[in-house]
Amino acid sequence: MKFVAKNATIEQRTNLNSQQRVEVKSSSNKKDEDHQCNICQQKANKQQGNKKTDKIYVKAGFIGGSGTKDRPFGSLSQVQNNRNWKTVVIYYSSLPLDGGISLRDGQRIVGKGLDKPIITNSTNSTTNNGYGIIVENGSVCIKNIHVDSTQNSGINYDAAINITLTDVEVTNANQASLIVPIGNNFNLTGSNNAETASIQGQNSNDGVTRLVRVTVTDNFTGPGLYDAPYGGAKRWLYVLDSEFARLKTVLAPSAPVFMVGVTAILASAFEAGTKHYVTLKGNHIHDFALSPNSAFAYGINVGSFNGAKGYYNIKKNNIYGLITATNGVGNASYINGTTATLLTDTGSEYSKSTAKISNNILTHVPFPAVYYDGDGVEWSTFNGESKVTIKKNLLQNFFNDVQTIHGAKANTEVNIIENFATAGNSFYTFSTAIFPPEPTDQVFLNNKVSINNNQFNGGNAAGAISTSGQFNRCIVEMKANCFDGTYHGNTGTAIITSSPPGPSGVQFIGHYNNFTNYALDINDLGGNSTYYLQKNWWGSTSGATHNVPPATSVINVNSPLKQPIICQLTATCNDEATNQDQRQLATAKYKPMGEESKIVETISTNKNLTNNNLTNDIRINPRELQLRTNDLIAYFESIKQKVINRW
């Protein structure tokens, strides 16, 4: 305990109290991590009747050692030949320990010294299958280790029950560019293989995977992490306060590989009975490296397939730099989700996903620049059920902030609440697409959307909300949103744009919103939609302007508000100084996410913000509007083609 003088200032006392709280929290976290590592060891000791833990020691380059603390082994092969240990302590050396190592139930690896000891498997893919560390069975813990330059994955836990990685670094993995079969019954033509990841577990055992302060960078190819339960397993995945950077793939987008592309975290559950509980919190994903032209990129990519159920909590992550002007990536989804079922494999067992995506900072290519194709959050549902809540996120500079794609038979619920966002195309866009090889059936396409209390600037290409396709039933409810088409000198095309074919069966219901600075308020190009948009502010007291075919659509924009509502978010997208501060925040050097997330969490706290720049006196001439419409139709066609290419 530290003490402070009686005459100390308030600031000095406050700083000391804060420091003490940090020390107590750090100590508590360390005890929790040590407890996690000790659990697997204690279980194994109890099962095997061991009364104490046997330790051996190793240091790269040490000659004549016997595995004791004073005379450690000099190689991993010596450790591997002596299997009567529960803990191997690796001392730091300037030399790596080559050849990899395998772990059994209850064993743990702990690194000690000035830096993390290095394990490699750089020359022989037949030694431990080219892995740096491979788990043979059971529950294991790995702490303070650097796995570098492996022919296969840095760490493989296909056979593990529980695995805990703490303060682990994995670099330069999968140098042999290996592709492995997906360990489940997922037979989508041409996509039944996956790239080997830096850290990988295709697992049919119940259990827990836990990554805390793990760093994955500079891979040769493949995802940073691939966690894929199957066969009815019930598994939990925690990735906390970890970093993924400078990742790449060597494969072209047309390669016959499942979810081909540059990916930081890929979490996919397969087969009926499988349940996947995923928590991704406080992670830093950024600056992807050079890849083949037009490659896909995913910061976080989760999914439930062929009857599996996925539950996803994605919170307080900072993601940026997936696309740059030079890294060759053609399309990015910063947070991507998929719920898909091949009925030819499963009969009638549909996949289900529930996701809460909150308090994340997602920053795309800074403007002014070209419109790089990128979505903040994208979710696709094909023969499945999805419920996705997107709340209190900061989404900057995207083509689309939120996009959902629907195909085959899909039942979806999307809640978009209290987000601060900018985008060149749309705040929210939704469409139907073909899911090969099974056709989309309009009769079974249902989509319920709630869009509440968001602040958005943009919609220059399509509109604040845009849609294409035909649904059996689709309801889009909007309340207390502030949408402004002014974005980097451009004016929005429309608040709502619906494009052919359809959309039939779509209802837009919205009250008490601000809609300003759009060429048209409603631009209906497909017909068969209904618009109940009474009591909104349209930028002037004259009300809404629209292009809605009266023969096929219903529109009610009566009782327009006489003045704008008070926006509930504390920042304004038109404030360039605010934008600059947010970009600096999102591109800052990595540190724990506490301060960044506080900023996002406080976005919705101030309800007294006065609104400026709400005069809607800008209109686009008919020719320019038609050009934008043609571009929009071409865009939705490209979405369909993108889905086909991705699968």
CB 440 within 8 A of CB 471: no
**Residue 496 vs residues 215, 409, 480, 561: alpha-carbon distances, Å:** 42, 25, 16, 18
| Minimum mean pLDDT range among 6-10, 299-303, 308-312, 472-476 | 6-10
> In the predicted model, is pLDDT for residue 183 greater than 50?
yes
Q: How far apart are alpha carbons 192 and 394 in whole angstroms? A: 35
* pLDDT at position 611: 36
* pLDDT at position 524: 87
Q: Which residues, 6+ apart, have CB-to-CB distance to 32 below 8 Å?
A: none
* pLDDT at position 191: 62
What total number of domains does the chain contain? 1
In a domain, 405, yes or no: no
CB 160 within 8 A of CB 137: yes
As beta bridge partners, residue 344 has: none
In a domain, 297, yes or no: no
Q: pLDDT confidence of 34, banded at 50, 70, 90?
A: low
> In the predicted model, is pLDDT for residue 91 greater than 80?
yes
- Please give the radius of gyration of the chain, using alpha carbons only, rounded to the nearest integer: 27
In a domain, 581, yes or no: yes
In a domain, 264, yes or no: no
* pLDDT at position 437: 58
- How confident is the prediction for the chain on average, in pLDDT? 80
DSSP states of 571-590 as a string?
A: --TT-HHHHHHHHHHHTSPP
In a domain, 617, yes or no: yes
**In 3-state terms, what secondary structure has residue 643?**
helix
> In the predicted model, is pLDDT for residue 156 greater than 70?
yes
Question: Which domain range does residue 576 map to?
Answer: 441-647
In a domain, 215, yes or no: no
Mean pLDDT, range 53-74, rounded to an integer: 92
More confident residue, 454 or 502: 454
Mean pLDDT, range 181-208, rounded to an integer: 80
Q: pLDDT confidence of 177, banded at 50, 70, 90?
A: confident
Q: pLDDT confidence of 440, banded at 50, 70, 90?
A: low
Q: What burial letters (b/e) apply to 286-317, b meaning 16+ CB within 10 Å?
A: bebbebbeebbbbbbbbbbbbbbbbbbebbbb
Predicted confidence (pLDDT) per residue in 213-244, tens digit: 999 999 999 999 999 999 999 999 999 999 99
In a domain, 135, yes or no: no
Omega of the bond prior to 503 within 30 degrees of 0, cis? Answer: yes
Q: pLDDT confidence of 258, banded at 50, 70, 90?
A: confident
* pLDDT at position 37: 62
Report for 122-126, 212-216, 399-403, 635-639: range of highest mean pLDDT: 212-216
DSSP states of 523-583 as a string?
A: EESS--EEEE--S-B-SSTT---EE--TTT-EEE--S--SSPPPP--S--TT-HHHHHHHH
Single pTM value for the model: 0.83
Q: How far apart are alpha carbons 556 and 544 in whole angstroms? A: 10
Backbone phi, psi, residue 23, to 5° = -65, -45
> In the predicted model, is pLDDT for residue 635 greater than 60?
no
Strand stretches in 7-137, DSSP E? 55-59, 87-91, 97-98, 101-103, 108-112, 118-121, 133-135
| Minimum mean pLDDT range among 164-178, 521-535, 604-618 | 604-618
* pLDDT at position 330: 73
Q: How far apart are alpha carbons 544 and 522 in whole angstroms? A: 8
| Minimum mean pLDDT range among 295-304, 354-363, 439-448, 584-593 | 584-593
* pLDDT at position 563: 94
Residue 424 one-letter amino acid = G
Please choose, from the candidates 13, 18, 44, the residue with its C-alpha nearest in 3D space to the C-alpha of residue 106: 44
In a domain, 463, yes or no: yes
- Only one residue has tokens 């529109």, namely 555
Predicted confidence (pLDDT) per residue in 120-137, tens digit: 998 777 789 999 999 999
Contacts from 16-21 at CB under 8 Å and sequence distance 24+? none
